[in-house]
Amino acid sequence: MKAFFDELPRELQQRLKVIGVLAVILVVMLGVMHHVLMTKITVDATSADQAASPRQVHTAQTQIKQRLQRYVNQVTADKTASVYFYNLGPKSGSHAAKSASGAFYKSGNLAVSARAHVPTISASTYKLFMAGYLFSLEKSGNFAWNTTTRDGFKRMIVNSDNDFAENELDTFGLVGINQFIQNHGGYSPTFIQGQTSITTAASLGIFLRDLANAKSPFDQTQDRQYLLTLMQQQVYRTGIPAGASAAKAGTTVQDKVGFYADTNNDAGIVTLPNGQQYVLVIMTDGHQQSGLSGFPRIATITENIQKIAYGKQTTAKVKALY
């Protein structure tokens, strides 16, 4: 064979040598590619085999919930604050809803509260109840929208003006709205003649959950969207909106504030850029608060709660489970 090769023209010999080298390289490359492919298949299969069990997922949820509970216990320990946090789960059609880890944040899985059932001065947060009450009266034909009621309602939510709400309370009476609040699971009586209105963080949280989930009295699409739009436009945004944005840029908040004497309250629906949503109510007093001075305190509480539940560290741990 070698003799035959030696008899070939030198140019042809060189070409055959090159072809031989290329053939060897090709064989080696095919071998490497096969090895890489088989390794990937093995790793993928191993990863699937090592996916977190339901028990491991539950353990992780419990750990996050415990961190949240410790924190809200801490910030309410001096009895000058009430906190209600309820994760709503991912918004339908959002990136979070489509993620494999979306189930981790199933509605209510991380819910915590502290002093949320302690009756507290509501300040203007009671206007959430008023909004729901007027929607229910509209259903029964006892309230109608016109230029005047639209203007008053808008100012009640956006600017927290009192005239419209107080006029409606005088018109419809306190008994009816107190019964309405009670029928929807809220603290009652919120309104007592001649006294400052009172409620609880849990009561406001229940109404916000119904608003977020389009449940009665917020089950009329047009009215519900109108209220949510106004809440996103309300002008006092140094509480929950500021804290949520500090925790994650691009987070949106639809909320209603209240301030009276040393009371500063904020109650809202928070939506993260990826579509995760939660309800948060923070009611504060004391600490020599006046005007709006307590809202930075609310912002700090909001930021820390959001970071514990949805921050980078938590997100990384959740993704590792799926």
Instruction: State what percent of residues in the chain have pLDDT above 70.
Output: 84
Mean pLDDT of 279-298: 97
91 and 142, same domain (yes or no): yes
pLDDT at 8: 52
CATH number at residue 112: 3.40.710.10
277 and 204, same domain (yes or no): yes
122 and 24, same domain (yes or no): no
**Is pLDDT above 80 for 99?**
yes
**Is pLDDT above 60 for 44?**
no
Comparison of pLDDT for 90 and 48, the residue scoring more: 90
pLDDT at 39: 47
17 and 78, same domain (yes or no): no
Which residues contact residue 135 at a Cβ distance below 8 angstroms, ignoring those fewer than 6 apart?
217, 218, 220, 223, 227
Domain end, chosen from 34, 49, 64, is at 49
Q: How many structural domains comprise the chain?
A: 2
pLDDT at 23: 56
31 and 124, same domain (yes or no): no
Mean pLDDT of 224-235: 98
The vertex-203 CA angle with 164 and 84, nearest 5°, equals 120
Q: How confident is the model at residue 48 (pLDDT cuts 50, 70, 90)?
A: very low
What pLDDT, in 10s, does the model give residues 161-197? 999 999 999 999 999 999 999 999 999 999 999 999 9
Mean pLDDT of 105-131: 97
What pLDDT, in 10s, does the model give residues 122-162? 999 999 999 999 999 999 999 999 999 999 999 999 999 99
pTM of the model as a whole: 0.84
Phi, psi of 40 (to 5 degrees): -65, -45
pLDDT at 14: 64
97 and 179, same domain (yes or no): yes
- The closest alpha carbon to 233, from 154, 294, 153, 296, belongs to 154
**Is pLDDT above 80 for 26?**
no
153 and 206, same domain (yes or no): yes
**Is pLDDT above 80 for 302?**
yes
What pLDDT, in 10s, does the model give residues 304-317? 999 999 999 999 99
134 and 186, same domain (yes or no): yes
Contact, 120 vs 201, CB < 8 A? yes
41 and 186, same domain (yes or no): no
pLDDT at 124: 98
**Is pLDDT above 80 for 22?**
no
pLDDT at 45: 38
DSSP character at residue 106: -
Comparison of pLDDT for 39 and 84, the residue scoring more: 84
**234's torsion region: left (phi>0), alpha (psi -120 to 50) or beta?**
beta
Cα distances (Å, whole numbers) of residue 38 to 24, 32, 44, 49: 21, 10, 10, 16
**Is pLDDT above 70 for 204?**
yes
| Mean pLDDT for the chain overall | 90
pLDDT at 41: 39
Q: Which domain holds residue 18?
A: 2-49
Q: How far apart are CA 270 and CA 280, in angstroms?
A: 7
Mean pLDDT of 92-103: 91
pLDDT at 49: 47
152 and 6, same domain (yes or no): no
3-state secondary structure of 121: strand
Q: How far apart are CA 64 and CA 303, in angstroms?
A: 15
- Dihedral sign from CA coordinates of 259, 160, 189, 185: negative
**Is pLDDT above 80 for 31?**
no
pLDDT at 7: 59
- The closest alpha carbon to 128, from 320, 257, 225, 274, belongs to 257
The vertex-272 CA angle with 268 and 276, nearest 5°, equals 90
